[in-house]
Amino acid sequence: MTRIASEHAGSYRRTMELTYDILHAVEPKSSLAGVVRPFTAGLIVLNVIAVMLESVQSIEASFGRELHLFDMVSVAIFSIEYLLRLWSSPVGRPELPPLLARLRYAFSFFGMVDLLAVAPFYLHTLFVTDLRVVRGLRLLRLERLLLLGRYSKGLRMLGRAVSRTRSELYASFAVIAMMLLISSTVVYYLEHEAQPDKFANIPESLWWGVITLTSVGYGDVYPTTAVGRLFGGIIALLGLGLAALPSGLIASGFVAEFKEEKEALEDPEGHVRCPACGHAFKVDESVAIAAPAAGVPAPATATAAATAPATAATP
């Protein structure tokens, strides 16, 4: 009886680990991940397309029933995926009790994204009848596009880049906000008498500050006085640098993430390990000599370099 219980526990654990590897692991070992993940990513893209098509009245009138059926099937698949992710999450947190590990996942970023991907359907079906709220819940289905982030290595690197530069980003956004308030206040006092309809108060002047600092310039609101135009030109020039500041910070963080990932492939002895085949390569200033595995012939350059001293020593 004890042996049967032990076998069941072992099978349960193996199933959980396999599920975790397919759904959670960054570098999955199971071949099933090569089927499940592309299928899920394709389903997410199709859901976004379906949401867009529903906004076309002629398509909604002709294929509304089919689109609703597709949404129901998608919600069922996403719900099963969410429950499996929640169930297998303790594998990634072995130091925590299973319940606490599942709660950590449920309140994580992607855990909340997974929940929000299916919540609008259940809220609409079970509770909400107001059409305005229903339209808002339908719009939330576009949030499923965020699920693609876990399947893209580049998007994960971008997320880490934003995370590592978040303090600098907060500072840059604070500077932009202060510049926006100052420029809107000054232009209000400069242009209010000349254009009381366009610059009626400081909150309405914020629109001019936004389109000027971001170098958009729609042309619906602009200064007409000489001093106002001079001030507007200065703000536009400053906006070129301020608007690019967050982009530069994120780009530098992305480069740093890429560099760290590249350096992670090197071992302390100066070998570089190929991420595809796993072979180690010795990095040398003059020539890179491969450290071949058993049964793999050494490169010609390595053979020549190894035999050269012996040849020279022969009388």
270: left (phi over 0), alpha (psi -120 to 50) or beta: left
What CATH number does the domain containing 37 carry? Answer: 1.20.120.350
**Is residue 206 assigned to a domain?**
yes
In degrees and rounded to multiples of 5, residue 281 shows phi and psi of -120, 135
Whole-number percent of the chain with pLDDT over 90: 24
Is the domain of 254 the same as that of 136? no
**Domain count along the chain:** 3
| 245, 275: one domain | no
Count CB neighbours of 56 within 10 A: 11
Residue 116 sits in the same domain as residue 181? no
Burial class (CB in 10 A: 0-12, 13-18, 19+), 150: buried
Which amino acid, 146? L
Residue whose pair of structure tokens reads 């339209």 in the numeric block: 135
Residue 96 lies in a domain: yes
Instruction: State yes or no: pLDDT of 310 exceeds 50.
Output: no
The answer to whether residues 253 and 285 belong to one domain is no
For residue 207, pLDDT beyond 60:
yes
Backbone angles phi, psi at 105, to 5 degrees: -70, -40
Do 179 and 247 fall into the same domain?
Answer: yes
Q: Residue 91 pLDDT > 50, yes or no?
A: yes
In this model, does residue 121 exceed pLDDT 90? no
What's the pLDDT at 290?
43
The pLDDT value recorded for residue 128 is 58
Most confident of 7-11, 157-161, 220-224: 220-224
Domain that holds residue 187: 166-263
Clarify whether residues 31 and 124 are in a common domain.
yes
| 159 inside domain | no
Question: What per-residue confidence (pLDDT) applies to 159?
Answer: 80
* The pLDDT value given to residue 90: 92
pLDDT at 279: 55
- Distance from C-alpha of 156 to C-alpha of 277, rounded to nearest angstrom: 23
Least confident of 83-87, 233-237, 311-315: 311-315
Among 178, 183, 176, 174, smallest CA distance to 234 is for: 183
Taking residues 182-211, what's their average pLDDT? 91
The answer to whether position 310 is within a domain reads no
pLDDT, tens digit, 9 for 90 and up, residues 125-178? 777 555 555 566 666 666 677 777 676 777 778 888 888 888 889 999 999 999
CATH code for the domain in which residue 218 is found: 1.10.287.70
> Residues 172, 43: one domain?
no
For residue 109, give the nearest of 150, 152, 153, 138 by alpha carbon.
150
Task: Give this prediction's pTM.
Answer: 0.61
- Find the mean pLDDT for residues 198-226: 88
Residues 51 and 29 in one domain: yes
Residues 34 and 139 in one domain: yes
Q: What pLDDT shows up at residue 153?
A: 72
Q: Which token pair is 45? A: 């893209």
Is residue 10 predicted with pLDDT exceeding 90? no
Handedness of CA 192, 196, 202, 205 (dihedral sign): negative
Residue 156 lies in a domain: no
- Kindly indicate the confidence band of residue 269, based on its pLDDT and cuts at 50, 70 and 90: low
State the pLDDT confidence band at 52, using cuts at 50, 70 and 90: confident
Using alpha carbons, list the distances in angstroms from residue 26 to 157, 165, 174, 198, 281: 12, 22, 35, 53, 24
Same domain for 8 and 142?
yes
Asked if residue 272 lies in contact with residue 265, where contact means CB atoms within 8 angstroms, the answer is yes
Note whether residue 158 is domain-resident: no
Task: Say if 89 falls within a structural domain.
Answer: yes
Residues 257, 277, single domain; the answer is: no
- Sequential DSSP letters for the chain: -HHHHHHHHHHHHHHHHHHHHHHT-SS--STTHHHHHHHHHHHHHHHHHHHHHHTSHHHHHHHHHHHHHHHHHHHHHHHHHHHHHHHHGGGG-TTS-HHHHHHHHHTSHHHHHHHHHHHHHHHHHHT---HHHHHHHHHGGGGGGGGGGGG-HHHHHHHHHHHHTHHHHHHHHHHHHHHHHHHHHHHHHHHTTT-TTTSSSHHHHHHHHHHHHTT---SSS---SHHHHHHHHHHHHHHHHHHHHHHHHHHHHHHHHHHHHHHTTB-TTSEEE-TTT--EEE--SS--EEE--TT-PPPHHHHHHHHHHHHHH--
Kind of pairing, strands 280-282 and 289-291? Answer: antiparallel
Overall average pLDDT of the 83-110 stretch: 91
Residue at 50 is within a domain: yes
| Same domain (yes/no): 276, 175 | no
